[in-house]
Structure 1
Amino acid sequence: MANQPTNTLQLGHEYVASDEDVIIQEMVNEMQVQMERMYADKKMLRQIHTKMHGCVKAKFIIEPNLSDDLKVGVFKAAKNYHCWVRFSNSQTNPQPDKKKDIRGIAIKLMNVSGEKILNDKKNEQTHDFLLMSSETFFSKNIKEFRQTLKSSTAKNKAQLLFYFLNPKHWGVFKRLLGSLVKCDNPLNIPYWSTQPYRFGKPDKAVKYFLKPSADNTIINESLTDPYYLRFNLGQTLHNHAAKFDFFVQFQTDASLMPIEDPTVPWDSEFIKLATLEIPAQEFDSNAQMAFGENLSFNSWHALPEHRPLGSFNRARKRVYEAMSKFRHEVNGIPDVEPKDHSDFLTGTHIPELRTITHSVPTKHVNCIKSQVLVNCSKKIAFEFISSNEELPNWLKKVGMIHSALNAEVIEGPYNKVGAKRRVFFDGGHSVLEELMSYNPYANYSYKISEFTNVLKKFSTHAYGELWFDTVDDKTRITWDYTFTHKNMFYGWVLKILLPIVFKKFMQSSLENAKNYIENGD
C-alpha cells in the first residue's frame, strides 16, 4: 500500500538553496582545472565515468498495455526505440576493474519527437537516461558534495586524505564506501537513477531502476585482467543477447522520499515501463570505441515531461554542458547527436543456440595463462586454433613437451559440446580432449584426460580454455590451463613445474600460431 503524505512538503517540488549557483560555478571551475592538468597535450577524457567498457546498440521497448497515467513522454505509446548504451566506471582516474567502483550505464534513445529541455539540443531527436550501480548517493546536497569534490580534484592528493580524516566527514566517507561495488560483468548488476525526475505533471516524481533479466546468459573470461569488464561484456554479447527491465518508483511521501536528498532510498512500488534489449553483437572495434568515447550524455537532454529534479540534477545541467563543451573543444571534435536509421541494428544478430557448460574447477588446482596479439579477425584466429588439421603447425616441441602430430576425432564433429578427439604427439604420447563449451568465434573450452606423458604422475585431469577478444582491431588470444593434482605434494610440484615448463610451451605455441596466421609459415 502506498505511503500517505506525512507533512506539508509538496510532492515533486524542488527546494533551491540561495547559494546554489555559486557552488555549481565553483564545481565547474575546479573540474576544468583538473582536466587541463591531467590531459595536457593529450586527448581529454570525461571527468566522471571516464573508463568505458563498451558502447552498444540496443532497443528500448515500451510496455504495450500501460495504464493511461503511465503513458507519459517517451512512454506515451507502445513503440520500440533504437538506442545507444554506454557502460562505464565512475572514477576520474581509471583503475583496474577488480577495484570497487561506481558503475554506470547511459542510454540514448533515438527518434524521440518533441522539443527537449537543453537549448542547444532542443530540436535533436534523442533522449538520455543516466543510471548507476548505487541506489543512493553519498552526499546529501551539492554543498556537502562540493567539499568532497574540491579535495578530490586538488593537485595535492593528500587533501582528500585530510578531508576524510575530519570526523565531520566520516558520514560521507561511510556512504561513499557503501556506494562502491565489485562487478563481474556490466550486464549482471542493477542500476538506479539515484536522482529523481518529473513524470508528466509537476506533482509527479519518479526514480528509475534497471534490473538485469534472470534469463541472461553471462560469460566471464576473467576477473583479474585490468579491463575484464570490457572483455566479459564482449564475450557475453558475441553470441548472446541481454535484457534489462526498466522500472519507475513514484514519490508518495515528500518527506520520506525527498527530492533534495539522494542519500535516502525510496521504498515505493517498482512499476515496469519498458525493456532494454541488447542484441548479440561485436562492439569493440576502434571506430565504435572512439564513437562511444566522443558521445555526450546529459540527464537534461530529455523531454520536459521527464525534467530532472533536485540539486544534483540542477548541478548536472551546467556541469555536464560545460565539461562536454570543454572536452570536445580541446579535442577538436564536434559534439554531434547520433541519428536513427532503418538499418541501425545492422551488425547485430540472432544468437546461435549453443549448449554452454563451464565447470572448470577453481579449488585445489594449478592455473597458468598465456596471451598473444594477432593481426587478424577473431574468426580466422578461432578457426585456426580449433582446427584438427592445423595443430601440428603451432603445437611444436618445447623442452620436455613434444610436438603435436595429428588429432583423431572420436566423437564429433569437433564443434559440439561433448565431442572428443585424441591428440597424438611425437615420442608416442597422447591425450584425450572433450569439448565442454563451444562459442564461435569467441571462446571454447575442453577437458583433458588420459595423459601418457610425465604429467600423468601428478594430475588426472586438466582443462583448457581459449578466449578470442578484439584489441586495437586485432585479436587477442588467451590460453588458460587448469590442472588438478593428485595430492598436496604433487600440487606443490606442479606449482613449480608448470610456470617453468608448460607455460613456456603455451607461450611458444601461441607465438607459432601468430607467426603462421600472419606470415603463413
Structure 2
Amino acid sequence: MTKLPTNHLKLGQEYIAADEDAIINEMIQEMQAQMDKLYADKKMLRQIHTKMHGCVKAKFIIEPNLDAKYKVGVFKEPKTYASWVRFSNSQTQPKADKKKDIRGIAIKLMGVPGEKILNDKRHETTHDFLLMSSETFFSKNIKEFRGTLKASISKSKLKLAVYFLNPKHWSILKRLMKTFVKCNNPLSIPYWSTQPYRFGQKNKAVKYFLKPSANNKYINENIKEPDYLKINMAQTLNNHAAKFDFYVQFQTDVTSMPIENPTVPWTSEFVKLATLEIVPQQFDTNQQIKFGEDLSFNSWHALPEHRPLGSFNRARKRVYEYMSAYRHNKNDILEAEPKEDPSFFKDTYKHKAHTIPQEIPKKKILKRAAHVLVNCSKPIAFNFISSNNELPNWLKKHATIPAVINTEVIKGPYNQIGAKRKVFFDHKQSTIEELISYNPYANYAYKITEFNNSIKHFSKVAYGQLWFDTIDDKTRITWEYSFTYKNIFARIILSIILTVVFKKFMQLSLKHAKEYIENGD
C-alpha cells in the first residue's frame, strides 16, 4: 500500500498499492480452482454468500424532503424504486443457520435511469447495494485478505490451522471472529456496507447502513432447523412488512475514517436518505428460489455518482464480474438483469393477522411436536387443518386417546381471536379451545382448558400451535403441543403419557390429514 504523510491524504481519495493488480489475479485463479473442485459435476453456486434465505420484493423509498446536498444519484428526487432483495449467509460451504456467520443483504433497484459503471451493463436500468452484518471487515487490505483466503481454501485443513497459529495473524483471527454473528431472523438485524462509496463529488465518500425499524414485528417459528432463517423470514412476511432505514455516513476525517482500511469504523453521524420496505409476500417457491440463485449482484453495478472506493471494492469489481460470468457459463444460464414491471407487486399481499396479547409459555411446560409434508399449497393445508368440520376426519382414535366426534362453536366465528369451540370426543370426553392467534396461511394457536379426561389430573392448561411452511413446493405442517403441569409428580406422569402415547397420536393424526388432503377423501 502506498504510504503517504497524513497531511497529504485527501477526503474521498484512493491510494492503490503497486502489487494490487497481481494480487487480484491470484485471487481469481484460486477462487476458480476452489469452485471447480466443489462443483465439478453439479450446479455451481456462488463463491461467497452462497446460502440464500430468500429473494424478496421490496420498495426502496427515497425521503421526500432531502436537503439539496443529499440529492445525488439514486437519491436525486423523491421516488420509489421496485427492488429485489437477497438475504444470505456468507460462507462458501453452507452451514446450519445456528452457526455464527456473516449475514448478507444485496439490494437491486429497478427503473434507475442513467449509464452505469460496468461496461457490459452500462445501459441496464438496475443499481445494486451490497451490505453485511458487520460494521467492519477483518482484513486491512487485499494483500492481508489474500493470505487468509489462500489458507482457508487450501486442500489441507492443517494449513489454515498453521496460518492462525502464527502470532502475526492473531489480530486477523480476532477481527474475523467479531464479524460472525448469530441471527434468529434476517429481517431483524442491521447491515453495513463496510466498504466506502463516492457520493457525487470526488472529495465526498460515504458508507451505507441499514437499520431495522423499531416497529417491525418478527415471527420466529424456531431456531433449531438447519434452514430456520428462511422459515422465520417466510413466517414474518406472510402477515407483516419489514422496514429498514437506509443511512449514509460521510467521511469527515481522512485519518480516523480511512478509505483503504475497512477494519476501522467511521464515527460520523448517520443521515437517513431512504426506507427499504420489504412487503408482505410468499417468496419460498422453487421458481423464486431459482431466480434468486441465478441473479447477480455487484457493487460496481451502479451510477458513477456512487462509485465504489477502496482496495476491496476494486477487487470486487474484477472478482465478481469474472466469477459471476464463470458460474453462469458453467450452469449454461444467461446472465440477465430484471426489468421494471408495472405488475411487479401484483402477487404480493398481506394476510389479515389476528393475535391477542397472550403468549404460549416457554418455561414450566412439556412440549411435543410432530411434522408431515403434504403435496398441496399452504392455503389448502391451512383451511383443512383449521376447519371445524374437518376435525373428525384427521383426529382419530389412538390407544387411550379417543376420536373427535364433532365440534361446537360457542363463541365465534372460529377464525377470529378470542373465539371458542368445544371439541367432543368418544366416551363423553371434551375440551374447550380458545383461539389466541390466527394468521392465514402461516400459523395459528389455541389455548385448551376444561379437560374432562385423565389429563385434568396433571394439567390445567395446554396450548396447541400449527405452523405451515413451504418446503420444495410442498407444505410442511408442524403441530406443537405445550402442556403446563400442576406439580413435579404430575410432570413425571405427564411426560410419560406424552412420550409413549400422545406424540404418536399427533404424528398419526397428521398422517391422516395428509392422506385426506392428497386423496381428497
TM-score clears 0.5: yes
Aligned residue type for 2:127: H
Is 2:296–2:324's contact at 8 Å kept on the other side of the alignment? yes
Instruction: After superposition, give the CA deviation of every residue in 1:168-227 in whole Å (9 maximum; x if it has no partner).
Output: 111111111111111111111111001000000010000000011111121111111111
Answer yes or no: is 1:107 the counterpart of 2:90: no
Q: Which amino acid aligns with 1:370?
A: A
Give the partner amino acid of 1:324. Answer: S
| Counterpart amino acid of residue 298 in structure 1 | N
State how far apart, in whole Å, the 1-side matches of 2:292 and 2:492 are. Answer: 46
Distance in 2, matches of 1:284 and 1:127, equals 24
* CA positional deviation for 1:159: 2.0
Question: C-alpha displacement at 1:351, in angstroms?
Answer: 4.9
The number of equivalent residue pairs is 517
d(CA) in 2 for partners of 1:109 and 1:358? 39
TM-score between both structures, scaled by the size of structure 1? 0.97
Name the residue aligned to 2:434.
434
Show the counterpart of 1:69: 69
Q: Is the 8 A contact 1:242 1:279 kept in 2?
A: yes
Pick closer, same or farther for the CA change 1:7–1:423 going to 2, 3 Å: farther
- Aligned match of 2:3: none
Matches within 5 A, 1:134-149: 134-149=134-149
TM-score of the two chains, using structure 2 as the length reference: 0.97
Show CA shifts across 1:297-330 (max 9, x none): 0000000100000111111111111111111011
Aligned residue identity for 1:391 = L
**1:136 alignment partner, SS class:** coil
Q: Distance in 1 between matches of 2:148 and 2:284?
A: 35
* Structure 1 position 505 matched with structure 2 position 485: no
Checking the alignment, whether the CA contact within 8 Å between 2:249 and 2:268 is kept in structure 1 is yes
Paired residue for 2:171?
171
Aligned to 1:90: 90
The letter of the residue matching 1:217 is K
CA contact (8 A) 1:356 1:438 kept: no
1:93-492 to structure 2, matched below 5 A, reads 93-352=93-352, 354-357=354-357, 359-492=359-492
Residue 46 of structure 1 corresponds to: 46
Secondary structure of the corresponding residue to residue 46 of structure 2: coil
Q: Is the 8 A contact 2:353 2:438 kept in 1?
A: no
User: Secondary structure of 1:445's partner?
Assistant: strand
Which string of whole-angstrom CA distances, capped at 9 and with x for unpartnered residues, describes residues 331-364 of structure 1? 1101100000111111112452533545111112
In the alignment, residue 330 of structure 1 is paired with which amino acid?
K
Q: CA, structure 1 residues 326+456, in 2 after alignment: closer, same or farther (shift >3 Å)?
A: same
CA contact (8 A) 1:66 1:273 kept: yes
Pair 1:26–1:494, CA change in 2 (3 A): farther
Separation in 2, partners of 1:49, 1:282: 22
Report SS of the residue matched to 2:48. Answer: coil
Per the TM alignment, residue 499 of structure 1 is displaced from its structure 2 partner at its CA by 2.6
Q: In 1, distance between residues paired with 2:360 and 2:73?
A: 48
Contact 1:139 1:263 in 2 (8 A): yes
CA deviation after TM superposition for structure 1 residue 418, in Å: 1.0
CA contact (8 A) 2:199 2:305 kept: yes
Q: Deviations over 1:84-108 (max 9, x none)?
A: 0001111111111111111111000
Alignment partners' CA distance in 2, 1:277 and 1:497: 47
- Give 3-state SS (helix, strand or coil) of 2:245's partner: strand
Which whole-Å CA distance do the structure 2 matches of 1:397 and 1:413 have between them?
A: 27
Structure 1 residues 406 and 324, CA, compared in 2 at 3 Å: closer, same or farther? Answer: same
Q: Which residue of 2 aligns with 1:30?
A: 30
CA shift, 1:495, in A, is: 3.4
Aligned-pair distance for 1:520?
A: 2.1
Residues 56-79 of structure 1 show CA distances to partners (whole Å, capped at 9, x for unaligned) of: 111111111111110100001111
Structure 1's unaligned 5+ residue stretches are 1-5
Secondary structure of 2:267's match? coil
Q: What displacement does 1:7 show?
A: 4.1
Measured in 1, the distance between the counterparts of 2:272 and 2:262 equals: 22
Render the CA deviation track for 1:242-261: whole Å, top value 9, x for unaligned.
Answer: 11110000000010001111
Q: For 1:509 and 1:446, how far apart are their aligned partners in 2?
A: 17
CA distance in 2, matches of 1:357, 1:227: 28
Change (3 A) 1:519 1:346: same
**Which amino acid letter does the alignment assign opposite residue 186 of structure 1?**
P
Shift of residue 283 of structure 1?
0.7
CA distance in 2, matches of 1:516, 1:288: 29
* SS of residue in 2 equivalent to 1:469: strand
Q: Which runs of 5 or more structure 2 residues have no equivalent in the other structure?
A: 1-5
Please name the residue that 1:3 is paired with. Answer: none
